[in-house]
Structure formats: structure tokens, C-alpha cells
């Protein structure tokens, strides 16, 4: 599929997609990037989800089948539509912007084809920590996978398996940022992240907690503080009751970093 659509997408370089499971550190990554003078933080933009849903609905097919049936010109039009529909969310003239919709990992194929110059950052966290954090979070709406330990583990496994496959067919297209490594070595991980984006290092990215921009996720309070280890092992006292989560994760429990 990627060979067939090679060179067909919209050439815009503006978008930086930050995705992964909820409670994986994606808000922290967004805040770090949005503290760079060349990058604007926006919000969790639903645009790519809306486009993908329309493709499924209009074709009556799975998203993979629907994408495969498109013409190269239609792929380019999707990229251009995304750029047009996200423009109202941009309030500055900065050349890059962050779209931090966690579930956009499901749209990685469509993003890669329609916006081949866009950057994708996979924010990932140890599955037991991530799963427990989702289970104890009462979301205002959506995030339906989070209402049982088993469904959280199964969802994490599906995400992990899909990203492994995507990395295999498009190596280097996605930058993986492990939350635990970011906590242990913020300077090194931020430098690697910015190098992937293609912007120079800026000290403001390490002082992200001083950024006064509005943050509208459950992590809003956390990103107002410097990086810390407060939530790393919060799941451990509850481990005896997390058996369903551990079982559902399967091989993702040990192989989560890859």
C-alpha cells in the first residue's frame, strides 16, 4: 500500500501527532514540544478520527480496505483537508503544531499516506502503570476501554501489536518516547525528540512547567510541575488485584518497549 501511494500525499510539514494510550505521558510530551519557540500546542483534535470514520461509513469497509481503494489524488486531498480543518485551532504563526489525540495511533497508516512529512510520536508507558492509571481515572466521556482491567489490557495489547507491525513496514516513521526513560533522562530524551522533529534544542522545553498555555486533560496539574517519579510505582501496592490486567496484556507485558 505504501509503495502504491508513494509521493501522493500532501507535502505539509506542520503537524506533529502525539499519540498512545491515555495516561501514557502524551500530555507531558505535548507540553514539552509546545514550549519550543517553533511549535504550537493546540489540543486533542478530532479531525483525523472524523475523516477515518467518514471513509469507513461511506465505503462500508474497514479503514484498511477503504484506504486501499482510494486513488492517489484522494489521498492528497485527505491531507489537504486535514490541514484546512485544523487551521482554526492554530493561534500563532509558528511553523509546527501538535495534535495530541491519543487514539490517532489507530490512524497511523492514514497519517503516513496523507501527510508523509508529518511527524508521529508514540508516547508509551509501562503497561501495568498505564493500565492502573486508566482504571482509576473517571473520564468525562469516551475512553470506553478503561472500564475493566481486562479490556484495558486487551486494548494495550492491540495498540502494542499494531505499532510493532507499523514499525516493521515503516521503520523510523514514528519516534517512540518511553515515559520512564523521559523521567530518568529528560535532557537526553528531549534532545532526541527535538532532533526527530527537526528543530534545534531549546532550554524552554526542559522548563515546560513554566508554560502558561491552557491544558485540558486529566494531566493538567501534573505538567505544571517539573518531571518527577510520583506516579511511576503507584500501581505496585495494588498488584495483587491486577491479575486480569496482567493476563490480558500477554506478551506486551514483557515486550512493551519494542
Q: Looking at residue 154, what is its pLDDT?
A: 98
Residue bearing the bigger pLDDT, 209 or 124: 124
pTM beyond 0.85 = yes
Neighbours of 201 (CB within 10 A): 15
Place of cell 481515572: 137
Q: Looking at residue 203, what is its pLDDT?
A: 95
Neighbours of 258 (CB within 10 A): 10
Output phi, psi for 100, to 5 deg: -105, 55
Place of cell 505499532: 163
Could you tell me the pLDDT band of residue 4, with boundaries at 50, 70 and 90? confident
pLDDT tens column, 180-202? 999 999 999 999 999 999 999 99
Residue 249 and residue 127 in contact, taking contact as beta carbons nearer than 8 Å: yes
Lowest mean pLDDT among 17-21, 95-99, 104-108, 143-147: 143-147
C-alpha angle 160-164-168 in degrees, rounded to nearest 5: 170
Residue 33 and residue 16 in contact, taking contact as beta carbons nearer than 8 Å: yes
> In 126-224, which ranges are continuous DSSP H helix?
127-136, 149-169, 179-184, 186-197
pLDDT tens column, 125-171? 999 999 999 999 888 777 899 999 999 999 999 999 999 999 999 99
Amino acid at each position: 500500500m505504501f509503495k502504491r501511494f508513494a509521493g501522493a500525499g500532501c507535502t505539509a510539514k506542520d503537524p506533529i501527532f502525539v499519540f498512545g494510550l491515555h495516561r501514557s505521558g502524551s500530555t507531558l510530551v505535548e507540553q514539552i514540544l509546545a514550549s519550543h519557540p517553533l511549535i504550537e500546542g493546540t489540543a486533542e483534535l478530532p479531525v483525523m478520527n472524523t475523516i477515518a470514520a467518514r471513509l469507513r461509513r461511506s465505503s462500508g469497509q474497514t479503514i484498511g480496505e477503504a484506504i486501499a481503494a482510494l486513488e492517489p489524488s484522494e489521498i492528497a486531498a485527505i491531507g489537504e483537508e486535514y490541514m484546512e480543518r485544523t487551521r482554526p485551532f492554530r493561534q500563532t504563526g509558528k511553523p509546527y503544531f501538535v495534535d495530541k489525540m491519543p487514539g490517532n495511533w489507530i490512524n497511523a497508516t492514514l497519517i503516513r499516506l496523507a501527510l508523509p512529512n508529518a511527524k508521529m510520536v508514540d508516547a508509551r508507558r509501562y503497561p501495568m502503570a498505564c493500565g492502573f492509571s486508566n482504571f482509576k481515572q473517571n473520564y468525562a466521556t469516551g475512553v470506553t476501554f478503561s472500564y475493566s482491567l481486562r479490556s484495558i489490557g486487551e486494548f494495550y495489547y492491540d495498540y502494542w501489536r499494531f505499532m510493532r507491525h507499523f514499525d516493521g513496514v515503516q521503520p523510523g516513521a514514528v519516534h517512540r518516547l518511553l515515559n520512564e526513560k523521559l523521567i530518568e533522562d529528560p535532557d537526553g530524551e528531549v534532545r532526541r525528540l527535538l532532533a526527530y522533529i527537526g528543530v534545534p534544542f531549546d532550554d524552554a522545553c526542559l522548563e515546560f512547567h513554566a508554560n502558561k498555555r491552557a491544558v485540558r486533560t486529566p494531566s493538567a496539574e501534573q505538567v505544571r510541575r517539573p518531571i518527577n517519579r510520583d506516579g511511576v510505582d503507584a500501581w505496585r501496592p495494588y498488584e495483587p488485584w491486577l491479575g486480569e490486567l496482567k493476563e490480558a496484556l500477554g506478551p506486551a507485558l514483557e515486550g512493551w518497549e519494542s
